[in-house]
């Protein structure tokens, strides 16, 4: 007898991006295997998202009506709220500004349903419109970059490129992550991180990787059209990344170590400053300045104490 197919919930957290959300949901509706149910967790200031969901339900884009949940700002709290309303075997999280290829959910669910892949707790896809250069020797030495899909002792991550086969990883990006719901603890995302800093997705998935496998499958393909709405610019993200990473390493999960963090943080400062001088690049010098401010933020956390 064939095994009973698993059911799945998709949780889409959104804030002030109705156009991005409409495009994302259109790609969900076009899936060869759409999710059993879609939950939209809306932290928007106005009512455009509600109007969009009502229209989608009237036009029956999906086999079940989209469930709309209201929340305040903060993606960590929004993800936890969506998870509390999820009831299916697998729960997917996507960013509202992604566009899926038609076989995305089919590939993700195929991993969870494969009896040969025991112990899989999470699955992610491959972002096809982003490319990252391989890490340089000095970036590795400063613990600023590493092997694909790893989390370094400094808290920095090895970026996931475009693997040609399924690979085991130690973290999943928030724009493309799916989990066996039964293996998630209650409220797994640290909402305090997104109130003050960021990167609750890396923190949560690395913690989960200590007890279960995380897998990235190349057949689950998506584009991530990073919306400028409610998104920090590059300099701000550089500053925010440092205290976020410091919070993670202070918890000493797995191989994370504060000493490695400080080595990488001051190494990043010197690296950007030196490159900025050599290349006469104002942008790199501004990145060095953003790094310095991030280090100061991390030092404040060191003496005040990280969120618990």
Q: Are 112 and 38 spatial neighbours (Cβ–Cβ below 8 Å)? A: no
Give the number of residues written for the chain.
Answer: 308
Q: Is the dihedral of CA 106, 108, 113, 114 positive or negative?
A: positive
The residue out of 200, 224, 248 marking a domain boundary is 224
Can you say whether residue 155 is alpha, beta or left, with left for phi > 0 and alpha for psi between -120 and 50 degrees?
left
Number of domains in the chain: 2
User: Residues 157, 294: one domain?
Assistant: no
Round the CA-based radius of gyration of the chain to a whole number and report it.
20
User: Residues 176, 294: one domain?
Assistant: no
The residue out of 171, 205, 224 marking a domain boundary is 224
The residue out of 224, 255, 289 marking a domain boundary is 224
Place 194 in a pLDDT band, splitting at 50, 70 and 90: low
Q: Give the domain extent around 160.
A: 8-135+146-224
Q: What pLDDT was estimated at residue 73? A: 82
Between 118 and 211, the more confident residue is 211
Q: What pLDDT was estimated at residue 2? A: 59
User: Residues 31, 157: one domain?
Assistant: yes
Place 248 in a pLDDT band, splitting at 50, 70 and 90: confident
User: Residues 46, 94: one domain?
Assistant: yes
- Strands 90-95 and 67-70, by their bridges, are unpaired
Q: What pLDDT was estimated at residue 231? A: 80
User: Residues 209, 258: one domain?
Assistant: no
Residue 196 scores a pLDDT above 70:
no
Question: pLDDT tens digits, residue range 123-139?
Answer: 999 999 988 888 999 99
We report the CATH number of the domain holding residue 174 as 3.90.550.10
Q: Of 53, 43, 45, 47, which Cα lies nearest the Cα of 22?
A: 53
Q: Of 182, 171, 183, which Cα lies nearest the Cα of 248?
A: 171
Task: Of 69-83, 90-104, 226-240, give the range with the top mean pLDDT.
Answer: 90-104
User: Residues 276, 152: one domain?
Assistant: no
Q: Which runs of consecutive H residues, i.e. helices, occur in 3-47?
A: 18-29
């Amino acid at each position: 007898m064939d095994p009973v197919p698993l059911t799945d919930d998709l949780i889409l957290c959104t804030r002030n991006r109705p156009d991005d959300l409409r495009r994302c949901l259109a790609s969900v509706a076009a899936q060869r295997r759409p999710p059993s149910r879609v939950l939209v967790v809306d932290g928007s200031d106005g009512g455009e998202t509600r109007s969009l969901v009502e229209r989608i339900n009237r036009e029956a884009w999906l086999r079940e009506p989209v469930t709309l949940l209201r929340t305040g700002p903060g993606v960590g709290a929004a993800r936890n709220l969506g998870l509390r309303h999820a009831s299916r075997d697998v729960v997917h999280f996507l960013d509202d500004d992604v566009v899926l290829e038609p076989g995305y959910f089919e590939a993700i669910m195929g991993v969870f349903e494969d009896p040969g892949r025991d112990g899989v707790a999470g699955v992610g896809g491959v972002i096809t419109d982003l490319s990252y250069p391989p890490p340089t020797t000095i970036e590795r030495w400063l613990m600023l970059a590493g092997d694909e899909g790893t989390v370094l002792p400094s808290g920095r991550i090895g970026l996931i490129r475009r693997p040609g086969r399924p690979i085991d990883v130690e973290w999943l990006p928030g724009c493309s992550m799916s989990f066996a719901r039964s293996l998630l603890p209650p409220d797994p995302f640290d909402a305090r991180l997104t109130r003050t800093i960021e990167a609750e997705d890396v923190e949560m998935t690395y913690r989960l990787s200590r007890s279960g496998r995380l897998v990235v499958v190349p057949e689950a393909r998506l584009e991530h059209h990073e919306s400028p709405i409610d998104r920090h610019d590059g300099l701000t993200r550089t500053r925010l990344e440092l205290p976020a990473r410091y919070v993670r390493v202070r918890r000493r999960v797995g191989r994370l170590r504060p000493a490695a963090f400080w080595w990488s943080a001051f190494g990043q400062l010197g690296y950007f400053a030196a490159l900025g001088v050599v290349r006469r690049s104002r942008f790199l010098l501004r990145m060095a300045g953003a790094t310095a401010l991030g280090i100061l933020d991390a030092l404040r956390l060191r003496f005040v104490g990280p969120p618990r």
